[in-house]
Amino acid sequence: MKIRHLAKAFTLAATVAAGPVLAADDEVVIGLSAALSGGAAGTYAAPAEGLKLYIDRLNEAGGINGKTVSLVIYDDQGDASRAASNGKRFLTQDDVQLIISVSTSATFAPLISQATRQGVPILFAGSVCPAETMPPAEPLLYCSTGFSSVHDSIAMVDYLRELDGDATVGFAAMGIPISRAGMEEAERIVLGADMKSAGIEIAPPGTADYTPFATKLIQNGAEAVLAWSPWSVQIRFFDALRKQGWEGNAFVGHLAEAELEMMEIKDPGLYTVGSNAMIFEDSKATQDLVAAVTESGVDLHPEAIVDGWLGGIVIEEVLGKLGDDTSAEAINAVMSDIEIDTRGLRGGSIKWTENNHFRETIYYRVYRWSDETGAMEIARDWKAYEVE
């Protein structure tokens, strides 16, 4: 895929750019650890590039309050040991004031452990939101990413009930904690609504053939299937179902690859539920993003960078509220009490409080392919869900 090609190109750029950087009086140093290569790059490399593009544009326009943003980029390949090494370099060599993660959940523990010991905040801006960012939030950890396994699952079930409240529902997960948690929550809600479950099928990492798992869901009478996992796993589950003649509706998480691949799959029974706007809508917000990519000359799909672009907006708004003190402590103080305008790329703002570093309200849209128009469409417009 083109996104994977981009991931390799970005890795080279990051290698050249990376190195010890000490903060000058007129700059803020931010460390970015991202899965720029390896198996997870299809989901994470493009958002990381989108964040870098946003920061580049900020600096070209004069920075923020007269300060430039120095972005130190290291590739962690979605690997915990590499993330640990990146975290050590950020804190002992680069003197960063903020760390950003755009990578797999496997990389979280080493980054969190090192950063919190040093009092440096972490922004998850393309990585799935850790549970520690949700109420009651732990200090120093914040998340702006659009997808969240448990909250996405709640919105999926809610929309499914609107379509067919009597459906028997199957669940497809990958054998990793974040995926299982999302599908377990979805099944709990389904059973609580007096709907029937066809069970949760869990594919181990590295599964090559999803046919046995899809077969089990079909045999158990699944009329609809919910999935939340890395995009490639969601789609392989769906493909395995379709190849066996299954004609039900599937609901999947809205990850970076969603819009591009759904336009290729062209299946009106495949729905994605997420909190980021899609580029096809051609709104003022998406037009601005597309124009920025075009002007940059970077060979990048705007559809895949929305979470990274929003991460750049977060950085701009946080740093814009700082005075002369740009220390990690000052940045954290701003982040713990701020409302961020998502500028039309989401259904509402991101609001962080001392107790909630995820958001107080999350807004979901549902998308699918339309055979009638030969294009993507909004199946249901923004709906707000309160986060408790």
At 252, list the tokens.
């999947």
Report whether pLDDT(153) > 90.
yes
Confidence band of 20 (pLDDT split at 50, 70, 90): very low
Residue in the structure block whose two tokens are 């899809």: 214
Q: In sequence order, what are the residues at sequence separation of 6 or more whose Cβ sits closer than 8 angstroms to the Cβ of residue 376?
A: 259, 262, 263, 278, 280, 367, 368, 369, 370
Report whether pLDDT(89) > 60.
yes
SS3 270: strand
Report whether pLDDT(214) > 50.
yes
pLDDT at 13: 42
Identify any residues that bridge with 361 across adjacent strands, giving them in sequence order.
386
Q: Look at 3 and 139; give whichever has higher pLDDT.
A: 139
Instruction: Please list, residue by residue across 92-107, b when 16 or more beta carbons sit within 10 angstroms of its beta carbon and e when fewer do.
Output: eebbbbbbbbbbbbbb
At 312, list the tokens.
């750049």
* 225 φ/ψ angles, rounded to the nearest 5 degrees: -130, 135
Per residue in 272-316, pLDDT (tens digit) is 999 999 999 999 999 999 999 999 998 899 999 999 999 999 999
Instruction: Please list, residue by residue across 45-58, b when 16 or more beta carbons sit within 10 angstroms of its beta carbon and e when fewer do.
Output: bbbbbbbbbbbbeb
Average pLDDT over residues 132-155: 96
Average pLDDT over residues 96-112: 96
Q: In sequence order, what are the residues at sequence separation of 6 or more whose Cβ sits closer than 8 angstroms to the Cβ of residue 281?
A: 378
Q: Quickly count: other Cβ atoms within 10 Å of residue 386's Cβ.
A: 8
How many alpha carbons lie under 13 Å from residue 182 in its C-beta half-sphere?
31
Name the packing angle between helices 41-60 and 306-320 (round to 10°): 40
Confidence band of 321 (pLDDT split at 50, 70, 90): very high
Give the separation between CA 9 and CA 238, rounded to whole angstroms.
30
Give the separation between CA 267 and CA 246, rounded to whole angstroms.
13
Average pLDDT over residues 3-16: 35
Confidence band of 388 (pLDDT split at 50, 70, 90): confident
Per residue in 107-138, pLDDT (tens digit) is 999 999 999 999 999 999 999 999 999 999 99
Q: Quickly count: other Cβ atoms within 10 Å of residue 264's Cβ.
A: 9
- Sort residue 97 into left (φ over 0), alpha (ψ -120 to 50) or beta: alpha
Q: Which domains does the chain have, with CATH numbers?
A: 2-147+282-361 (3.40.50.2300), 149-280+364-386 (3.40.50.2300)
Give the separation between CA 61 and CA 73, rounded to whole angstroms.
21
